[in-house]
Amino acid sequence: MRILVAGGDGFCGWPTALYFSERGHEVAIVDNMIRRQWDEELGSNSLTPIYSMEDRINAWEDKSGKAMKLYEGDLTEYEFVHSFMQDFKPEAFIHYAEQRSAPYSMIDREHAVFTQMNNVVGTLNVLYAIKEIVPDCHLIKLGTMGEYGTPNIDIEEGYIKIEHNGREDVLPYPKQPFSFYHLSKVHDSHNIMFTCKSWGIRATDLNQGVVYGLWTDETKLDEKLYNRVDYDGVFGTALNRFCIQAAVGHDLTVYGKGGQTRAFLDIRDTLQCVELATLNPADRGEFRVFNQFTEQFSVLELAERVKRVAEEQLGLTVNIAHLENPRVEKEQHYYKAVNSNLVDLGLKPHFLSDELIADLIKTAQRYQDRVKTSVIAPSTTWR
Ligand code: NAD
Ligand code: USQ
């Protein structure tokens, strides 16, 4: 298939592009490299060294004999979107290219406005370009489990059957997002659903949980193919952060009580899920929603597991700190989400293992000289 990976320089996008290329698909990457600029703005970096996009693509061609196209530009500029869609004519458009950090979106008014403009306008442009140029193209859009928040009932996959005053209907599941970033994903979902109904766009919204891990078969092959991994207080995410903190002797930063429960998945399962969605496309006019995760954990449970593995397997001493929570969120709550759609399509999960945790800590030890401890603490508050 002709598969376009927007956000192909990022943590999920780069391994996805390699994965599809390795499997014989024709792959093009779209990215404006803005994630690298946010590192500069925040004074942070990836734990692992990452090469320029040109070096990455050349290294892949040397290793695999497979070429990948690059379109460098911004999805919020329609002329750019129109021109690469006209040139590449994708059959599947995998859309990762958004500002994805909740804390970044909560820094101040400018960052909130930027996040929603970048994400909502970019996605609208993609929808218009699909309508005008490749109406049969399947949009595979990365959303987030955080669209649902933490309701006191089970979380269904996108829709819920509701009975009201003696009538019933299947309606979009209520959304109670955690941040202006998570809200941008809700706005995207509404826009996509509307265009499926109005224009017959085919779309799959993948409400993904927190992704952990780093290595995939392809990114391991050469240092020039390494994936980025974030550990700072703005872009770093719970489990990866704890492993890197354990490696450099930093207290594990549990926010508040740590009873916050979230859905998680291994990055190798991100690739598997996106592949399943791509090879089994939505119908014309269908707005399909899959909850993309494999397990759910509380933050404290993860910190305790990282501490145990670091101490028992690697002889480290690890302390868990309960920091004052910089976010406004429930710290003790019910959480049970359904994830059967991808399992029914054939997902074979890589469940979290002690080996993976030990491996992540060892990777962090290998690159500990790159870790800037001053950016580990959370720097943004919600209030
Ligand atoms: P990332 O920040 O590493 O990658 C996103 C990429 O998109 C970056 O390379 C960035 O330069 C690019 N980009 C951003 N705005 C752009 C624009 N306007 N035009 C062109 N390129 C642009 O993020 P990630 O961790 O790879 O996440 C990818 C997607 O998956 C995001 O949409 C995110 O919301 C979603 N997601 C991520 C996680 C996670 O834990 N990482 C979990 C759930 C959902
Ligand atoms: N948390 C801590 N300590 C930390 C970091 C986080 O206790 O050092 C807590 C947070 O307070 C929150 C939970 O862990 O309760 C998850 O936070 P996170 O930073 O790991 O993840 P989040 O902000 O939710 O965002 C990440 C990605 C985002 C994606 C989302 C999926 O950055 O792109 O949409 O995970 S989900 O959580 O399902 O919404």
**CATH number of the domain that residue 128 is part of:** 3.40.50.720
pLDDT single digits (tens) 146-156: 999 999 999 99
C-alpha of residue 117 to centroid of ligand 2, in Å: 21
| 104, 150 contact by CB (below 8 A) | no
pLDDT of residue 215: 96
pLDDT of residue 352: 98
Atom of ligand 1 nearest to the CA of 13: 26
Helix (H) or strand (E) holding 350: none
Which ligand is nearest to the Cα of residue 245, counting in written order? 2
pLDDT of residue 173: 98
Give domain status of residue 100, yes or no. Answer: yes
The Cα–Cα gap between 130 and 125 comes to 9
Q: What residue numbers bound the domain in which 149 lies?
A: 2-375
The finding on whether 13 has its CB within 6 A of some atom of ligand 2 is no
The residue with tokens 């049970």 is 336
The finding on whether 255 has its CB within 6 A of some atom of ligand 2 is yes
The finding on whether 208 has its CB within 6 A of some atom of ligand 1 is yes
pLDDT of residue 195: 98
pLDDT of residue 207: 98
pLDDT of residue 64: 97
Which ligand is nearest to the Cα of residue 32, counting in written order? 1
Give domain status of residue 381, yes or no. Answer: no
The finding on whether 179 has its CB within 6 A of some atom of ligand 1 is no
Residue of 11, 95, 207, 266 best suited for mutating to test ligand 1, as the one with most atoms within 8 Å of CB: 11
pLDDT of residue 91: 98
| 144, 289 contact by CB (below 8 A) | no
The finding on whether 125 has its CB within 6 A of some atom of ligand 1 is no
pLDDT of residue 140: 99
Give domain status of residue 196, yes or no. Answer: yes
Active site residues: 144, 181, 185
C-alpha of residue 210 to centroid of ligand 2, in Å: 6
The Cα–Cα gap between 201 and 209 comes to 25
The Cα–Cα gap between 268 and 137 comes to 25
Give domain status of residue 106, yes or no. Answer: yes
Give domain status of residue 380, yes or no. Answer: no
Give the closest residue (by CA) to ligand 1 atom 33.
100
The finding on whether 177 has its CB within 6 A of some atom of ligand 2 is no
Question: Residue 20: which of 33, 46, 1 has the closest Cα?
Answer: 1
Number of domain units in the chain: 1
Instruction: Name the stretches of the chain with pLDDT < 50.
Output: none
Give domain status of residue 63, yes or no. Answer: yes
pLDDT of residue 314: 98
Please provide the DSSP assignment of 312-347 as one string: HHH-----EEEEPPSS---SS----B--HHHHHHT-
C-alpha of residue 274 to centroid of ligand 1, in Å: 14
The finding on whether 115 has its CB within 6 A of some atom of ligand 2 is no
Residue of 237, 295, 382 best suited for mutating to test ligand 2, as the one with most atoms within 8 Å of CB: 237
Give domain status of residue 156, yes or no. Answer: yes
Helix (H) or strand (E) holding 82: helix 78-88
Question: Residue 94: which of 21, 36, 37 has the closest Cα?
Answer: 21
Buried/exposed 302-317: b ≥16 CB within 10 Å, e otherwise: bbbbbbebbeeeeebe
